[in-house]
Amino acid sequence: MKAVALTRYLPIADPESLFDATLPVPAARGRDLLVRVQAISVNPVDTKQRAPSAKVETEPRVLGWDAAGTVEAVGPEATLFKAGDEVYYAGDITRPGCYSEFHLVDERIVGRKPRSLDFADAAAIPLTAITAWEAFFDRMKIDFNGAQQGASLLIIGGAGGVGSIAIQLARLARLTVIATASRPQSVEWVRALGANHVVDHRKPLRPQMEQLGFPLVDYIANFNDTDFYWDAMGDLIKPQGTVCTIVGNRAPLPQDGVRAKSATHCWELMFTRSRFKTADMIEQHSLLERVSELIDAGRIRGTRRETLSPISAANLRAAHAKIESGTMIGKLVLSGWS
């Protein structure tokens, strides 16, 4: 099968950082699905996994954790899907990724592709939808049905992939959403997705929040740099409020700000369930099924902004470079094989 792989961890400008490869087609076992991949999307986790280091792989390593395609075969213990089903998923970071024509994934973290989306649009959804959904409804204990209606939520990184889905989910939960964005096109994007207010993350947040009438907020979801915004989050969170972060910290995080307010700080990592094979791993299947329903009902819109075709090493190197530039709005998708 065609694939894009690496053996050395190199700067993305190096042609060997990602290369075209031919690899054996894997066989489905246990609860695995063998998926014929039609489209993939690229996320910051891809670039972090590829970050330059001295490590050398003895066999080609395939990255990629966002895909949509068609089930080719199922393992003997699989019961949720059958050959021919159209699916979408984010996968498992402990297994080979989806930069390949055929890909194995445990059915418990797979959902049926939204009927109203093509494969390219569907591939843009899973990782970000799982991250935002788990952050809000599992980690922060926000009620999807609106029990916290009107509560204030600051989303840092509103125009990124996770932020683009998170704004929409927060509005469905009837929260008042303040999203960060800095450029005219990203401000326009987050407003179109439903943000009630927008603040510029390149400027101090407190004066802007006070001007909007939100000197303190009930919830903060930071989908960007944890270290950079840590002090501001401690300053802006309400007493007994909740902060959720998804990007690992580089330095120790002083706790005085959140501790003084008895605020909750939680982490969200969408790979936790698959990595540790948690007892509730199938919740990601249920979550993706629910997201499909919301998309098909017109309650959530797609977040694809750019598409490259075909899926190839050259196009994936371009996609990684775009992600590393920090200028992405929404999601970047690669579709089809040459």
Q: Is this model's pTM higher than 0.95 or not?
A: yes
* DSSP symbols for 215-262: SSEEEEEE-S-HHHHHHHHHHHEEEEEEEEE-SPPSS----HHHHHTT
pLDDT in tens, 64-120: 999 999 999 999 999 999 999 999 999 999 999 999 999 999 999 999 999 999 999
pLDDT in tens, 119-166: 999 999 999 999 999 999 999 999 999 999 999 999 999 999 999 999
Phi, psi dihedrals of residue 299, rounded to the nearest 5°: -90, -20
Instruction: Give the Cα separation of 233 and 206 in Å (integer).
Output: 10
Token pair for 287: 């979550």
pLDDT of residue 205: 98
Token pair for 106: 């445990």
Instruction: Assess whether the previous peptide bond of 26 is cis (omega < 30° from 0).
Output: no
pLDDT in tens, 154-198: 999 999 999 999 999 999 999 999 999 999 999 999 999 999 999
Tell me which residue of 130, 234, 222, 220 sits closest to 175, measured CA to CA: 220
Tell me which residue of 148, 189, 188 sits closest to 170, measured CA to CA: 148
Average pLDDT in the 222-240 region? 98
* CA contacts within 13 A on the Cβ side of 67: 30
Quick check: 45 and 65 in contact, CB under 8 A? yes
pLDDT in tens, 6-56: 999 999 999 999 999 999 999 999 999 999 999 999 999 999 999 999 999
Domains in the chain: ranges and CATH: 2-125+273-335 (3.90.180.10), 129-267 (3.40.50.720)
Displacement of CA 321 from its chain's centroid (Å): 18
